[in-house]
Structure 1
């Protein structure tokens, strides 16, 4: 039977890591094995708490699952500084550029259906893309199109900063991107750009014949059993949710960004999910198989998705809407107030999900990467998460001048994806 149809490691910022670890890391586990015994769990509790304290992180959710074996699932700190409600692992959160894994899956499903060709020019399907006759669908998916990243446009940044509740259309976002010349010839190199995924979202809508949020709900979320995952059409977020804190404000003050409108990220970074849904999604994403054993993508398409090409950043490869960092495969994401990592280490049959309700990265770099580094130093010392800051995916630039989540430095860092 074919696949059942019905719906960041780089997303919206780069992952600059600082290792913070309490106590001695345990001896490396045998190849292919990860232990999560009570001693390890206590070490993780202490190390994560120490990292949060040093980096002033309000709240963190950490999940580590070993197939058919142990798990470590914890919430730390507060989800809402106004009420003091603690972080709980079933809360909804904004996932930034992890959205790209879903949007590009939808485009690849259309490839499997014979409706889209990976190596066809995007001009075959969409009008108005500068140089679109030379940019392929594949180059959009693997971040090699050369198209300018609209979230780095100074005018767009100023507009967003002035009114983060504004609703954006995909075409408005593309207008900012297309006002700039291409950064390089298609295929010449790798460069993270949210523009690429917005175009693929429009491709899915046009060829799939449905709004992107509807297509994803029917063809990705439903067959994958993701009941708590959605692409909002506005600023809505389901309850209970984690409040996200950012300093991407005119005066640099830290505010609650949980009701800011993420439409500026759309297909590149606007989705909402939970730790448990992401725990289920990551193995599906990495294997191309649904929980019931059916296919999410055809094997040949999945193999192309996982063909990691160099990014120019040591240790980081990028495929079709999916990244690899020292064996960990998946994506990360960042946008004002939120950071997420959702990845899998296949050889250990391990899945890791990290959510952080702040993007006030400061001297520690990406906060989610800090936590991931802390966790992996203890649990998988041979596969430590350490993403270069310049390789971190953002939906929008970040609040600090050296945005750890932006794949490329922005004039004035802000939200990412």
Structure 2
């Protein structure tokens, strides 16, 4: 991967319209306790209150083990945790490799991880809650809430959430890239991020096409603050994370990173050499990519954001608003669509994330009520493809061959 700002432009991938075909039963036979784990992988389970299904068969587990190890070797991934669940067919929760190359500390499923653009699903959920409360409308224009936005009297909140605003992506700006990589521990304010974006002309008229831009989410974060009277972090903690019971998910104020966490490895550096990015400040991602979570919380969130329902049956947003969120018009990826802060890849609904040193994938397949979460501690591409995509594709080829999480080597989103 070239060591330029191009890598930082990514934060998610857009994907395909909702599919409702049945998952092949052959991949999901239940069984008793798994066999002894190989030394290079550690078996893990989520908390009993959230994990009441049995393990996949030893044969399927061996296939998945081999697939995950194959991607690790191919893409030189230090460590990865994979969680795969379906309520009536089985589960697979495994960690491979190391969380810290310096000490050899093994990867494990209880680690906090930076989740990058999965933050967008939380920010947009916050906005949709406020829409349900009548405090804003999705077709309101952004100039009603934030001053100085190019085309602000024409760009709607819906277009911002759906990546169809035409605004330049601040993380593509060369000066931003130099500022971040020269001092990756420096804080950025939302207004500073917008300044990088607004120095560029708009790319196209609002609504004309899809173009993934982190600028859109910075603006929506400011809208949430304006409507709620709270900081974005406080609103998300009180009104999204709290009701969902996500006790290990947080919106950091700065570079804080709870223990235990994995170290992260990136070549998005001033020199292009690989560095440990665990203590870098994620404020440059803010509403678009600053959050932290763990496997167990993301398992719950995958179903919540895809279906609109919490584990206890309550909802964070109304069914009508959830329906709008899941309306996924086509994107520049063939057969792909992106809704309001959420994608759908061959029926797998959710989002991925990439921040220097970390990648994640959290998706849900409604037709099988299946959840897949992948967490890894590098963002270094392999032949132009993000390693989280490689894991998603390898795993779903085994368990859902009719719903393979496949994306082109050059994703539409950045």
TM-score for both structures, normalised by structure 2: 0.87
1:82 to 73, 77, 102: 102
In structure 2, distance between residues paired with 1:303 and 1:276: 26
Aligned-pair Cα RMSD in Å: 1.7
- Cα deviation for residue 68 of structure 1 reads 4.3
Q: Is the 8 A contact 2:178 2:270 kept in 1?
A: no
* Aligned counterpart, 2:341: 321
Q: Which residue of 1 aligns with 2:117?
A: 97
- SS of the counterpart of 2:391? helix
Moved more, 66-75 or 349-358: 66-75
**Structure 1 CA distance for aligned equivalents of residues 14 and 136 of structure 2:** 33
Q: Distance in 1 between matches of 2:351 and 2:74?
A: 25
**2: CA distance, partners of 1:275 / 1:15:** 22
Aligned-partner Cα distance in 2 for 1:124–1:287: 30
Tell whether the 8 Å contact from 1:13 to 1:389 is kept in structure 2 after alignment: no
Do the aligned residues in 1 keep the contact of 2:385 with 2:410 (CA within 8 Å)? no
Where 2:109 maps in the other structure, the secondary structure is: coil
Alignment CA distance shift 1:280-1:51 (3 Å) = same
Confirm or deny that 1:29 pairs with 2:49: no
Structure 2: distance between partners of 1:11 and 1:65: 28
Question: Aligned partners of 1:86 and 1:392: how far apart in 2?
Answer: 34
Map Cα deviations across residues 339-358 of structure 1 (whole Å, 9 max, x no partner): 10000011011000001111
Contact kept in structure 2, 1:103 and 1:200, CA below 8 Å = yes
Counterparts of 1:170-185 in structure 2 under 5 Å? Answer: 170-185=190-205
Change (3 A) 1:115 1:11: farther
Retained in 2: the 8 A contact 1:342–1:354? yes
Structure 1 residues 292 and 13: CA distance shift in structure 2, 3 A: closer
Q: Any conservation in 2 of the 1:14–1:366 contact (CA below 8 Å)?
A: no
2:128 pairs with 92, 95, 108, which one? 108
Alpha-carbon offset, residue 392 of structure 1? 5.4
CA contact (8 A) 1:12 1:392 kept: no
TM-score computed with the length of structure 1 as normaliser: 0.87
Residue in 1 aligned with 2:237? 217
* Equivalence map 1:8-407=2 (5 Å): 12-14=11-13, 29-30=24-25, 34-35=28-29, 36-363=56-383, 365-391=385-411, 393=413, 406=414
Maintained 8 Å contact 1:80/1:243: yes
2:240 alignment partner, SS class:
helix
Q: Which runs of 5 or more structure 2 residues have no equivalent in the other structure?
A: 1-8, 16-22, 30-55
Moved more, 250-259 or 358-367: 358-367
Does structure 1 retain, via aligned residues, the 8 Å contact 2:14–2:331? no
Question: More relative contact order in 1 or in 2 (CA 8 Å, sep 6+)?
Answer: 1
Question: What is the rounded CA distance, in whole Å, between the counterparts of 1:260 and 1:221 in structure 2?
Answer: 24
Contact 2:305-2:350 at 8 Å conserved across structures: yes
| Count of paired positions | 373
| Structure 2 Cα separation of the partners of residues 123 and 73 of structure 1 | 46
Moved more, 346-355 or 64-73: 64-73
Q: Secondary structure at the match of 1:216?
A: helix
1:15 Cα offset (Å): 8.8
Contact 1:330 1:343 in 2 (8 A): yes
Q: 2 CA distance for matches of 1:392 and 1:13?
A: 9
Tell me the SS of whatever aligns to 1:317. strand
Q: Distance in 2 between matches of 1:315 and 1:250?
A: 37
Contact map agreement 2:13 2:351 (CA 8 A) in 1 = no
Contact 2:265 2:379 in 1 (8 A): yes
Query: Bigger CA drift: 259-268 or 122-131?
Result: 122-131
Paired residues of 2:28 and 2:89 also in contact (CA < 8 A) = no
Give the superposition deviation at 1:154.
0.7
| 1:14–1:390 Cα contact (<8 Å) kept | no
Q: Is the 8 A contact 2:14 2:338 kept in 1?
A: no
Deviation at 1:363, TM superposition (A): 1.8
Provide the residue aligned with 1:396 in structure 2.
none
Q: Distance in 2 between matches of 1:135 and 1:368?
A: 32
Q: CA deviation at 1:230?
A: 0.6
Structure 1, unmatched stretches of 5+, are 1-9, 17-27, 394-405, 407-417
